[in-house]
Amino acid sequence: MKKVTVSICTGTTCYLMGGAHLLTINERLDPSTLDSVEFKGAHCLGLCSNESNGKPPFVKVNEHLVSDATLNKVLDAIRKELKEIQHVS
Ligand code: FES
């Protein structure tokens, strides 16, 4: 089964800029979708050193970069990706 991969940066900059509370995001998703989502903690994704990437915290949802990530922005990105993989399969 195809999955949505969510890489949450736990590097120091992202963690201090609000990434810490993103680690509870799985509690905000519909439980029926959890089998289709894989969460990963990631050390610095290397994005915080280049302002053109936007502001930390950073989360990658499949290939989609979410900058200045909030729970709602990441949830929206996950739901969008879930729709795409459900549409394809
Ligand atoms: S600490 Fe998150 S991208 Fe560097």
pLDDT in the model for residue 47: 97
Average pLDDT of the segment spanning 4-20 = 95
The domain ranges of the chain are 4-88
pLDDT of residue 37: 97
Q: How are the residues of the chain apportioned to helix, strand and coil, as percentages rounded to the nearest 5?
A: 45, 20, 35
Phi first, then psi: give them for residue 63, nearest 5 degrees: -95, 0
CATH architecture assignment, domain 4-88: 3-Layer(aba) Sandwich (3.40)
Residue nearest to atom 1 of ligand 1 (CA): 11
Residue with tokens 């990434």: 19
2 alpha carbon to ligand 1 midpoint, in Å?
27
What phi, psi does 29 have (nearest 5°)? Answer: -90, 150
Kindly report, residue by residue over 49-71, the tens digit of the pLDDT: 999 999 999 999 999 999 999 99
Q: What is the pTM of this model?
A: 0.92
Is 61 strand, coil or helix? strand
46's CB contacts (< 8 A; 6+ apart) are: none
